[in-house]
Structure 1
Amino acid sequence: MVSIIVPVYNAASYISKTIQMVGAQTYKDWELILVDDASTDGSADLIEKLIAAQGKRIKLIRKKVNGGPAAARNAGIGASSGRYIAFLDADDIWKPEKLEKQVAFMEKTGCAFSFHSYEFGDEEANPTGKIVHAPKKLTYRKALSRTVIFTTTVMFDTEKIDIEMIHMSQVPSEDTATWWRILKSGFVAYGMDENLAIYRRPKKSLSSNKLVAIQRIWFLYRNIADLSVPEALFYFGGWAVRATLRRI
């Protein structure tokens, strides 16, 4: 079974479609765990109505205090019962065959950690034609110079990786920090070069986004990867080139 973890914060405009999208997956052995992170827009009440109409494979965890996506995902992981853990953000899109193809890929390769290609979408999740291709394999050192692993594409096999390793730390870019920690321990991430998801990109200031991204990657280099300044600058150069090309 695949346990699908979705952090929910003020996602009332998306969550109904998210639940329908999971229900439309061609792979049917799943549970959906929605963790409401103290939303103020009625997301949790809407989810409860949808659960009442669609069955018990959907679980809702209500958090009383907003703790951010890392804490929300960790709560979902703690409540999971599936062999496989998959992450999905409430505003992103999975193609119907995503779970079926990724589980088959993991069974074929025997990997513990997989991810796949994805496509950028606009604020309505309309595909833009810009696809980020997943490399066949990603080691720790290679991962330092490319943030190519998109959370909504990740799946873990908990029979091969300790579930405690999947829990995320409360740091900026908690997802990337988690992938690095896992890869640094010796695991290799296996990439499936097939576009099975759309990353919705809301309208925000591009200059502001770039500044935040730079601050976060530098924090990760110095505080998570424990790189020296020269090492951090070396990997930052590779990251900057790839990040720019990915968005052109």
Structure 2
Amino acid sequence: MVKVSVVIPTFNRENYIGRAIESVLNQTYSDYEILVVDDGSTDQTKQKVLEYGDSINYIYQENQGPSAARNKGIQHSQGEYIAFLDSDDCFLPHKLERQVAFMDEHPDCKFQYSWYNHIKVGKKSKKLRTAGTCKNLEHFQFSLYERQFTIRTSTVLIAKECFTDELLFNEKYLYTQDWDMWLRLANYYYGYCIEEPLAEYYSDHGDNRSSLKVNIHHPEIRESILELYGWDNQKIKKLEDKYKIKKF
């Protein structure tokens, strides 16, 4: 068994997949495996991945969407922990070393995320994004629910034991499936934040979903989470007052 399984879902990313893979190969930490799940690419993505030989576990599936690709990676993983890397993003060199050390120092930690650099390719800009640190599990749940900060998928490290048949990415969502996943995980696990950038998130390069300017909130996600947490409007108001959170 390896310590970390890095799951990279991809679809038609021939121009970026090499950069993502190399950001893992250049890690200061070495006890990992890389699983690239190709979600039915029709470009040269497969050929680009196979250039890396045995250092990559390449898995192909017919196009089913990003959630199904991540779930396939989880199911084929051998690691104690799962790290996700979107195929147009990058890990910073010390990401896995820093996160595994944090897990070792905090044995109660099963769910972890970090700050990240947001790189807008078209505008040639980079900005540090500081995902929030919460006071307790309830604060974490409510901050996620109100979307007070974003947990980028490429920043997380999660114990594989957290993923069960009932707790995987919802494959019907093409957008905000990560938000739904973190909310459901937060029903059981507090998210620890490492307050330093450990990944780079790229946008505005024309090929990622953030470039499509689609604004889908999936109200059914909110409804399902209210039911899962056992919250009602009165509880929401109390939480707003308790944590001084204003609705956006």
Give the direction of change, closer, same or farther, for the CA distance of 1:206–1:35 in structure 2 (3 Å limit): closer
Q: Which residue of the partner structure matches residue 178 of structure 2? A: 175
Q: Is the 8 A contact 2:167 2:184 kept in 1?
A: no
Out of 71, 83, 103, the position equivalent to 1:106 is 103
- Give the length in aligned residue pairs: 231
Q: Which residue of the partner structure matches residue 19 of structure 1? A: 21
AA in 2 matched with 1:167: L
| 1:188-246: CA deviation from partner (whole Å, max 9, x where unpaired) | 1111111111111125799973x614x33x3321244448895799699x5864xxxxx
Q: Is the 8 A contact 1:127 1:198 kept in 2?
A: no
Give the direction of change, closer, same or farther, for the CA distance of 1:203–1:33 in structure 2 (3 Å limit): closer
Q: Which residue of the partner structure matches residue 195 of structure 1? A: 197
CA distance in 2, matches of 1:19, 1:177: 26
Cα RMSD, aligned residues only: 3.1
Give the direction of change, closer, same or farther, for the CA distance of 1:231–1:45 in structure 2 (3 Å limit): farther
Q: Which residue of the partner structure matches residue 48 of structure 2? A: 46
How high is the sequence identity, in percent, across the aligned residues?
A: 30
Q: Is the 8 A contact 1:34 1:58 kept in 2?
A: yes
Bigger drift between 40-49 and 90-99 goes to 40-49
AA in 2 matched with 1:170: E
Trace 1:1-248 onto structure 2 (pairs within 5 A): 1-51=3-53, 56-63=54-61, 65-110=62-107, 111-123=109-121, 128-136=126-134, 139-146=140-147, 147-158=149-160, 161-164=162-165, 166-172=167-173, 173-184=176-187, 186-202=188-204, 209=213, 212-213=215-216, 215-216=217-218, 218-226=219-227, 230=233, 241=248
User: In proportion to residue count, which structure has more helix?
Assistant: 1
CA distance in 2, matches of 1:59, 1:125: 34
Provide structure 1 residue ranges, at least 5 long, that are not aligned to the other structure: 242-248
| 1:106-159: CA deviation from partner (whole Å, max 9, x where unpaired) | 111220110001121112795522422341565323321124211111111235
SS where residue 149 of structure 1 aligns? coil
Q: Give the TM-score of the pair, scaled to structure 2.
A: 0.81
CA distance in 1, matches of 2:27, 2:168: 25
Q: Is the 8 A contact 2:204 2:211 kept in 1?
A: no
| 1:1-36: CA deviation from partner (whole Å, max 9, x where unpaired) | 110001010010011111111110000011000000
Q: Give the TM-score of the pair, scaled to structure 1.
A: 0.81
